[in-house]
Amino acid sequence: MSARTAVGGVAGFGVRGRHAAARPRAAACRRSSPQRDTGPGRISRRRADRGIPPLRLPGGDNGTVPTYRDEVVILRTHKLGEADRIVTALSRRNGKIRAVAKGVRRTSSRFGSRLEPFMVADVQLYKGRSLDIVQQAESLGSYGADIVAHYDRYTSAHAMVEAADRLNEAEATPQQYLLLVGGLRALAKGEHASRSLLDSYLLRAMALSGWAPGLHDCARCGRPGPHDWFVAQIGGMVCDHCAPAGSARVAPQTSSLLRSLMAGEWSEVDAASAGSSAAASGLIAAYAQWHLERGIRSLVHVPAGDPR
């Protein structure tokens, strides 16, 4: 499928270079890795030196502490008790994660500010029975401040993380992680209109999950396009024969803009008229509401055709 090929990379948000640059930083944090600081090897050796049997910690069958580390984007948080938070995150390698961050609502917390929505962090987690526990968090990208300061960026970012939160476990792939990081980063930098960044993100996120809309050939019969009708329930653009009565006609500039948003052709997207942008946003919103379970509630707050 051509749409799937188009979203294979995340170059449209320019994330590839930046994220590649972030990797050495993650590697540089290795001094805090379990093998060197608090890992079972060191604990065992120390205790063995003193003639004490290895410490058995809960959760591990062999006396090891079941920890793991990953890169995450924070999707949302809830308060828990007096000072803790439950953090929901999309990780690079472990799908969606729900974890308890203890004490992060105290002002003295070492990493509370790194676990706010839209933040990208390298975290180490302890594997718990129901929820994991955050042990450490190093910031990889603080996009929050630049996003929260602008209403259009904030509402777009909110809709992005809500869409990511709708992914089920099988869909929470490394490609989805990279796409979301790229989208938030582009929003924080104000590279393009916020609504266009959101629209492009939604099309590509759905395509990565196997819900790519047909934007050229007829989504029902496959007749070569371009066509004039868009029907979310059928799966995108459809031909004259397949369009049900009452379908809305789509202007050629709008269907062309949809293809540019999917492909990340930003010079085309930036040059589009306000009317085409608003029409494309409406079609993408209808498609997302139809195909994503429970829809995206925050989409109604995102301004159409907004400034950068």
Interface contacts to Zn ion, rule CB under 5 A: 218, 220-221, 223, 239, 242
Q: How far is the CB of 242 from Zn ion (least distance, A)?
A: 3
Q: How far is the CB of 243 from Zn ion (least distance, A)?
A: 8
Pick the closer one to Zn ion by CB: 159 or 283: 283
Q: Which residues contact 30 (CB under 8 A, 6 or more apart)?
A: 36
Pick the closer one to Zn ion by CB: 104 or 218: 218
Q: How far is the CB of 239 from Zn ion (least distance, A)?
A: 3
Pick the closer one to Zn ion by CB: 223 or 301: 223
Pick the closer one to Zn ion by CB: 204 or 220: 220
Q: Which two tokens stand for residue 243?
A: 């369009």
Q: How far is the CB of 3 from Zn ion (least distance, A)?
A: 17
Q: How far is the CB of 172 from Zn ion (least distance, A)?
A: 33
Q: Which two tokens stand for residue 14?
A: 């320019």
297-to-38, 56, 272, 300 alpha-carbon distances in Å: 43, 46, 26, 7
Pick the closer one to Zn ion by CB: 74 or 218: 218
